[in-house]
Amino acid sequence: MPELTPELAALLEKLPGDDYDATREVLDEILAGGADAIRRLVAAVVDEFGHPPGTPAQYALHGLAHYAARPGAAEPRALVAETLAAELAADQASGLKAFLCRQLQLCGRSQEVPALAAMLDDEAVRDAATQALQAIGGPAAEGALQDKLAAAGLADIA
């Protein structure tokens, strides 16, 4: 499991920022670290979601999801969304997976639908994955939800 680099740990100490510009600078620096920096943040959340030492990483990931979803930020959005979706497939605790789904609810795209659809079979993560799929919308997300309803014998209510 990757650990925070000293540079990344120093950036987390700057969050929350005093203003938007200061926070934006920190988030841009984290994004400059690419997928590796995002994976390190996910690992820093620790297995038990809500564990106090993981709070700065949770805050940073949530900020990244919001920041990456802004208009005109296609590349950062792809980086954040793809990395978070890949982390869903990793051996993570259910609470952490639900947190990742909630971040994908903010910045996810149709490309992340398969990773979210795979979470529909996990009862502990299902609600967060469903909400992310609903937020993403579109034919792929709707199809994933309809497939899950059909598998549960509930297709007639969709």
Q: Give the three-class secondary structure for 48.
A: coil
pLDDT digits (tens, 9 = 90+) for 87-125: 999 988 899 999 999 999 999 999 999 999 999 999 999
Residue the block writes with tokens 């709070």: 55
CB 115 within 8 A of CB 92: no
CB-CB neighbours of 54 under 10 Å? 21
Average pLDDT over residues 7-36: 94
Question: What pLDDT was estimated at residue 152?
Answer: 67
| Pairwise pLDDT comparison (135 vs 16), residue with the higher score | 135
Q: DSSP states of 131-147 as a string?
A: HHHHHH-HHHHHHHHHH
CATH T-level assignment (fold) for domain 6-157: Leucine-rich Repeat Variant (1.25.10)
CB-CB neighbours of 113 under 10 Å? 24
Amino acid at 151: A
Q: Pick from 73, 67, 75, 70: which is nearest to 34 by CA?
A: 75
Question: What pLDDT was estimated at residue 150?
Answer: 84
Question: What pLDDT was estimated at residue 57?
Answer: 94
Residue 26 has pLDDT above 70, yes or no: yes
Backbone angles phi, psi at 102, to 5 degrees: -65, -30
Q: In the chain, where are the structural domains located?
A: 6-157
Question: What pLDDT was estimated at residue 158?
Answer: 47
Cα–Cα distance list, 108 to 19, 68, 115, 153, 158 (Å): 26, 10, 10, 28, 23
Prediction pTM value: 0.91
Q: DSSP states of 53-111 as a string?
A: GGHHHHHHHHHHHHHHTSTT-HHHHHHHHHHHHHHHTSS--HHHHHHHHHHHHHH--GG
Residue the block writes with tokens 């982390």: 87
pLDDT digits (tens, 9 = 90+) for 37-66: 999 999 998 755 556 788 899 999 999 999
pLDDT digits (tens, 9 = 90+) for 131-157: 999 999 999 999 999 998 887 665 555
